[in-house]
Chains A and B, each alone.
Chain A
């Protein structure tokens, strides 16, 4: 079946540090990949997505590249801010281009200190 393995947290960084949150997946076919973010007390929000191999999703300074050869979709940001503190979820949909029936990773808690 489909699965997503995500870097365990919590992750604590100082402001302006480089962030990497690892995500690898198992799926058949050509899944779409997503990163969602959940700020304290709020629902999940789509951060970025990639629908085919070698696609790079980017938003708010965050980036992730769909690597089919390594089945990975690592999240990166060059310089984190305190406001980036949140829980980050990697997810996949088995349907190309669709967000139906998402399979989520376990989530990674990020805390950025001033």
Chain B
């Protein structure tokens, strides 16, 4: 089956630093990837839709200058949390859909837990 891998799975950083999280589709090409954020005991919240070769589309209320998303290739999307603060601590999950398929399931990464001290 299709595999989506995230790295790192856990990261701890100091306040004010930037952190990059990678999302890779290992055995398929993904035109579109999605980034979610999950707070403890809460829903996954869609942050942005990442399209290969174009700018990401952010959901309302998500700061695009805080959460930089780049989708440089059909197998890699990155989320950079810039100048991270403790309130950015969360569980971030990416998902990907097969290239050129508008229907069908999404494949999810394992998630990345960010802790900002």
Contacts and interface: CB of A to CB of B under 8 A. Distances in A.
Partners in one complex: yes
Contact of A98 (B34, B43, B93, B103): B103
B61 interface: no
A44 B108 contact: yes
Interface string B77-117: 00000000000000001010100001111111111000000
Range of interface residues on A (Cβ < 8 Å): 20 to 34
B109 A43 contact: yes
A104 B103 contact: no
Contacts of B41: 106-107
Interface in A41-73: 41-46, 49
A106 B40 CA distance: 9
Nearest to A98: B103
A104 B110 contact: no
A102 B43 contact: no
A102 to B, nearest CB: 7
Interface residues of B, number: 24
B93 A43 contact: yes
A99 interface: yes
A89 B38 CA distance: 12
Contacts of B97: 99-100
A102 B106 contact: yes
B1 to A, nearest CB: 9
Interface string B9-40: 00000000000000000000000101010000
B93 A99 contact: no
Contacts of A105: 43
A91 to B, nearest CB: 8
A43 B108 contact: yes
B4 interface: yes
Contacts of A28: none
B75 interface: no
B110 A41 contact: yes
9 contacts: A43-B4, A43-B6, A43-B108, A49-B105, A99-B97, A99-B104, A100-B102, A101-B34, A101-B46
